Amino acid sequence: MAPPWPLGSNLDSRVSPIRRTVGSTAPMLLAMGSAVATPANYAAYSFDGGDTFAACVVPDPAGGLFGGAYSPSLGYGIMVSATGEVFRSFDGITWAALAGNDLTNGNWQGGVIRNGDDSLFVTTGLGGTDTLRAATSPDGVTWTLRTTPTGTFGSVCRISSNGKIVACGAGGIIRSLDGGITWAAITSAGDTNSDIAYRENVPDYLHVAGNTSADAGDTYFSSNFGGAWTRMLRDALNDPPNLQAIAIDPLRGHVYQGGATGIWRGNCNNPNNPPNLGWTNVYAGAVGSGCRAGYLVELDKIIFVDHSGSAGFQVHQNTLSEGVWSTQDYPLLLVNTARVRLQFLGFPPP
């Protein structure tokens, strides 16, 4: 029986809203580090939507962990490291190297998802061979490199509720309409694209953030899955720079982005319309350059996770009905991380 949430639904693949039973005995969230001093601290899990985290059991990877996904048909999830190592888990807490894995070292920083019909794991990256920066596998063991447009796609690989997959990075924005097998470039928004998300209620509605000097903080939206882009309204007083991560509140239509100047909300007056009413700085504290974000529907919560240098990692969250942001430090987990990935893996309760 398929789980009651979309296949591939995890924060890093940005299926939003996140559907998960709060209080489950399987992890809701997984945070992963990419440059960790203590091997045992490479991944941490949360049962309660990010209020508390504990360390996973993970072998010491040669490269940072950048993504994970769960397959209902296989009954297990995988995590992929930048260097192509694959780790498997049946419960989301204890992980082991997957024997026979033949994924090459492709700097797979795009994360990994399970495609819409639960037939393939899909990842994208920024290393290896140009024009071969996507890979798919039915089981996490046997991988096939897929042809991509020229460029690097190490931001995040996403899957929308209608099964389309999109990834972005310095190479622009690419999409797959057949579950990750073939890829094509779509009209790029701005310059280097740091993160991309779609709207659950309008799945062809994409939002993308830029983070270069030319497009520092620029946010664009598209209503036709990248066919054309419009720059979101900004003004001289509310011009948020260097926005790295993006999450969408589908109930209200607001867009949340985090970066060096805090967390900003792109305001909207209708969840079916673009949030083109300017920006509000809703959290003034700095959010690290490696942050990731998502929306949890059952908690009505926006959550950002970022690194905090030698202090470990931080969780910034806001239950939107309450409207108050809180920050929690985890100094003993993910120590000395360069960036943090945040994912919902979809492990069903035992």
The model's confidence at residue 11, banded by pLDDT at 50, 70 and 90, is very low
The model's confidence at residue 2, banded by pLDDT at 50, 70 and 90, is very low
CATH code of the domain in which 90 resides = 2.130.10.10
Which pLDDT score is estimated for 296? 80
Question: Could you tell me if residue 17 is inside a domain?
Answer: no
pLDDT over threshold 60, residue 34: yes
Amino acid identity of residue 341, one-letter, is R
pLDDT over threshold 50, residue 18: no
Question: Could you tell me if residue 174 is inside a domain?
Answer: yes
Q: What percent of the chain has pLDDT over 70?
A: 75
Supply the range of the domain harboring residue 244: 29-343
Question: Could you tell me if residue 230 is inside a domain?
Answer: yes
Alpha-carbon distance of 230 to 298, in angstroms, equals 31
Question: Could you tell me if residue 13 is inside a domain?
Answer: no
The model's confidence at residue 310, banded by pLDDT at 50, 70 and 90, is low
Which pLDDT score is estimated for 39? 63
Which pLDDT score is estimated for 217? 56
Which pLDDT score is estimated for 274? 67
Q: Calculate mean pLDDT across residues 250-265.
A: 83
Alpha-carbon distance of 15 to 21, in angstroms, equals 16
* Mean pLDDT lowest among 134-148, 225-239, 311-325: 225-239
Q: What percent of the chain has pLDDT over 90?
A: 15
Which pLDDT score is estimated for 85? 92
pLDDT winner (highest mean) among 88-102, 240-254, 297-311: 88-102
Question: Could you tell me if residue 350 is inside a domain?
Answer: no
pLDDT winner (highest mean) among 4-8, 105-109, 240-244: 105-109
Alpha carbon of 311 to those of 37, 41, 49, 258: distances in Å?
A: 12, 13, 21, 19
Question: Could you tell me if residue 6 is inside a domain?
Answer: no
Task: Give the chain's largest Cα–Cα span.
Answer: 55
Q: How many domains does the chain have?
A: 1
Mean residue pLDDT of the chain comes to 77
**Tokens 């579950």 appear where?**
179
Of 308, 230, 294, the residue nearest 257 (C-alpha): 294
Alpha-carbon distance of 318 to 229, in angstroms, equals 29
Which pLDDT score is estimated for 337? 58
The model's confidence at residue 7, banded by pLDDT at 50, 70 and 90, is very low
pLDDT over threshold 60, residue 8: no
End-to-end CA distance of the chain: 13
The model's confidence at residue 3, banded by pLDDT at 50, 70 and 90, is very low
Alpha-carbon distance of 299 to 175, in angstroms, equals 30
Contact at 8 Å (CB) between 140 and 78?
yes
Q: Say what the alpha-carbon torsion angle 9, 98, 48, 39 is, to the nearest 10 degrees.
A: -130
Contact at 8 Å (CB) between 291 and 321?
no
Question: Could you tell me if residue 12 is inside a domain?
Answer: no
- Can you give the pTM of this predicted structure? 0.86
Coil, helix or strand at residue 339 = coil
* Mean pLDDT lowest among 36-50, 178-192, 226-240, 282-296: 226-240
pLDDT winner (highest mean) among 147-151, 162-166, 269-273: 147-151
Question: Could you tell me if residue 16 is inside a domain?
Answer: no
Which pLDDT score is estimated for 335? 61
CA 243 distance to own-chain centroid:
14
Which pLDDT score is estimated for 15? 35
